[in-house]
A = this chain, B = another copy of it.
Amino acid sequence: MPMNLIESLHAIVGPAGFVNLEDGEPYLTDWRGRYHGKAMAILKPANTEEVARVLKLCAAHGIAVVPQGGNTGLVAGATPSEAGDSVVVCLSRMANIREIDTANYTVTVDAGCTLARIQEVAASVDRLFPLSLASEGSCQIGGNIATNAGGTAVLRYGNMRALVLGIEVVLPDGRIWNGLRGLRKDNTGYDLKQLFIGAEGTLGIVTAAVLKLHASLRARACAWVAIESVSAAIALLEHCRSACGDGLTSFELISRSQLDVVYEQVPGTRDPLDGSSPWALLLELADSASDAPLQATLETVIGEALEAGLAVDAVLPASETQRNALWHLRHIVSEANVRCGTSVTHDISLPISKIPECLADTEARLLDAGLVDGARFLYVGHVGDGNIHSIVLFPHEVWSTVGDKDALISQIGKIVNDTAVSFGGSISAEHGIGRAHRDELVHYKSDVELDLMKAVKQALDPEGRMNPGKLL
């Protein structure tokens, strides 16, 4: 019977869509390499119709389905369980650009298109698709939708959710819902696409989407600003918003402790200023008008900030090379930390006003608990989104002396998350829940909210066959 099923699945997707299990490792291991699952079959359907036929067959046999995009998620949301009783459906062969409508500022794409490809396609018609992530070269738009991806352009353009006008979904029973509407206003009943965005594949498989494009950006100005405190960052953000409006595209906070790790670990890097301030900001303005006087605006804003004591020093790059060098300091952070030791990282979000107190509180509680001896506290944050990646970095020589490493990670995580939640924050700003944070979700959500989530899951996937063991 299972053999017949496998043969039937093979027949649906054909040889090009059937991955032999001995070649399955990349599909069965999560991005961070912490989870290793098994599958009954790994399929790469060529189109929506094949996905629908696969899901219909799985429904008939009561088989679980694990949707997978570029498999770049950080919470093991696309890795099957160890039981080997599910079918992995990978969307990577579905990579057509279905339609570009420049006047409507939309592009309709298959779920398997990489984010980078969509950025390129948009640029080729003088449009911007603003979503931008570290993994953009390999992550797929279907996965970005299923996880409501964030990234570095959220301050101005919102999360993935804000960039989706319509989707096509194959439901757990194999029916296709065509919600591929390219409309900015549509108040005809429940906005069903919202259910599937961020659902991590637990309600159906997103197979295509109509995405919102923006005007291309043709002018930029950038600055590196030394500041004394997180509170100063928030005050400066407020000032920038008033003075620059929607032109503000990036407002990244980096702690001196994090910069020190970069300078120690990455040859050729050095502080753009004198390196004395406890915090630095990397901020950028951009505009679609090529002659927008952004450099002048930014100089004025920073001059005012220096005068008001919000900033202690600043530098504006004089060339694209200098600008890239500044951004390099921000982008190289993870790599520097890996060289230095083991990072216990967190992805919290907070009301912006609560960031300073919450970070101070968290650090004090971690020190009190005696969990961080020999570790370094690093912070990298998208301040404008209230999203702070707080990192406890254990240098190699310290980490090697830790006994129960998993227990330590989880104890630290509990303090960081407890504190964030006590300030009205979230334990997962942009990474999602997946398999990694499932137990925490139950701990931090109210019973009413969990009940509502379960009711939604029950309504759309009553047999619980879609991506089991993830999220709920």
Contacts and interface: CB of A to CB of B under 8 A. Distances in A.
Contact of A188 (B101, B191, B297, B433): B433
Nearest to A179: B449
A181 interface: yes
Given A162-B162, A188-B441, A456-B456, A177 B245 contact: no
Contacts of A350: 183
Contacts of A426: 181, 183, 185-188
Given A162-B162, A186-B349, A245 B243 contact: no
A158 B162 contact: yes
Contacts of A431: 187
Contacts of A342: none
B186 A429 contact: yes
Interface in A158-205: 158-159, 161-162, 171, 175-179, 181-192, 194-195, 197-199
A427 B459 contact: no
Interface stretch (A109-117, A147-155, A327-335): A147-155
A81 interface: no
Interface stretch (A30-38, A234-242, A371-379, A392-400): A234-242
How many copies of this chain does the complex contain? 2
Interface in A350-399: 350-354, 382, 384-387
B459 A456 contact: yes
A448 to B, nearest CB: 5
A430 interface: yes
A154 B190 contact: no
Nearest to A219: B245
A147 B185 CA distance: 12
B188 A386 contact: no
A115 to B, nearest CB: 17
B425 A188 contact: no
A446 interface: yes
A105 interface: yes
A405 interface: no
Interface string A63-98: 000000000000000000000000000000000000
A437 B387 CA distance: 42
A243 to B, nearest CB: 5
Interface string A279-292: 00000000111001
Nearest to A238: B103
A185 B182 CA distance: 24
Interface size grouping (class) on chain A: 35 or more
Nearest to A161: B191
A338 interface: no
A187 B148 contact: yes
Contacts of A424: 181-183
Contacts of A126: 242
Contacts of A445: 188-189
Given A429-B185, A429-B186, A243 B288 contact: yes
B183 A187 contact: no
B472 A148 contact: no
B104 A452 contact: no
Interface string A449-471: 10011011111100000000001
Contact of A102 (B178, B238, B385): B238
Interface in A407-433: 424-433
A244 interface: yes
Contact of A386 (B176, B185, B429): B185
Contact of A297 (B171, B189, B289, B349): B289
Interface of A: 101-106, 126, 147-148, 150, 154, 156, 158-159, 161-162, 171, 175-179, 181-192, 194-195, 197-199, 215-217, 234-235, 238, 241-247, 287-289, 292-293, 297, 349-354, 382, 384-387, 424-433, 437, 441, 444-446, 448-449, 452-453, 455-460, 471-472
Closest CB pairs A-B (n = 7): A194-B194, A459-B459, A245-B288, A103-B353, A185-B429, A246-B246, A186-B426
